[in-house]
Chain A
Amino acid sequence: TQLLEQSPQFLSIQEGENLTVYCNSSSVFSSLQWYRQEPGEGPVLLVTVVTGGEVKKLKRLTFQFGDARKDSSLHITAAQPGDTGLYLCAGEVDSSYKLIFGSGTRLLVRP
């Protein structure tokens, strides 16, 4: 069974601080995606990483895919209240048209 474990589960930080969220698995994924979900809405795709060791930057967000394609991290620099939300990593299982989601990291950025 392929599982994605995220840490930490909850994170409450002050505006301007940096943070890193981790997504780990014992299985290899051909790609990993990161989503952000705000209350009352569905998840919105932030990025897809497909190559081991790949690093992608999206403004203040930096995403990294582990060399062995079993883990990924999301780093936010100078967090802002607008970054508040539930961050989810997800991977597809064997071209099965379904995503396995991590348990999520709930981030609160206090002004």
Chain B
Amino acid sequence: KAGVTQTPRYLIKTRGQQVTLSCSPISGHRSVSWYQQTPGQGLQFLFEYFSETQRNKGNFPGRFSGRQFSNSRSEMNVSTLELGDSALYLCASSLSGDAGYEKLFFGSGTQLSVL
């Protein structure tokens, strides 16, 4: 069974640009969630999608957005990049999104560097 696939693996952008990250969940998983990981703040929840609907959103500015497609693949977009957006962006998939009890499967992440 293939794992969660995130593309690209590495990304370098400059301030003001926008970026789109992609996540392909494990086959059959309908929930996809996104997390930002930085050395200072650790892992922080961005948003969660199930069947193309966003069910929850973390405390991030509106520059961070996402969507999920009918095949459960998900993308997240960050517009007007800031230096502080440099981070590892992790995607996780699960069957129903019951995060406290289900096993979340994480991808290897996209390492974004903003210069």
Assembly CA distance A102 to B48 (angstroms):
19
Chain A contacts to B: CB under 8 angstroms: 29-31, 33, 40-45, 48, 50, 88, 90-92, 95-104
Which B residues contact A (CB, under 8 angstroms)?
A: 4, 31, 33, 35, 42-45, 48, 50, 55-56, 58, 90, 92, 97-101, 103-104, 106-109
From A88, which residue of chain B is reached at the shortest CB distance? B43
Is the CB–CB distance between A98 and B99 below 8 Å? Answer: yes
* Cross-chain contact B108 with A98 (CB below 8 angstroms): no
B45, A45: Cβ atoms closer than 8 Å: no
Pairwise interchain contact A97-B42, C-beta atoms closer than 8 A: no
- Cβ–Cβ contact A99 & B109, under 8 A: no
* Chain A residue at minimum C-beta to C-beta distance from B44: A101
The reply to whether A102 and B42 form a contact with Cβ atoms under 8 Å apart is: yes
Task: Tell me whether A30 and B100 are in contact (CB under 8 A).
Answer: yes
> A13 vs B111: C-alpha distance in the bound complex, in angstroms?
29
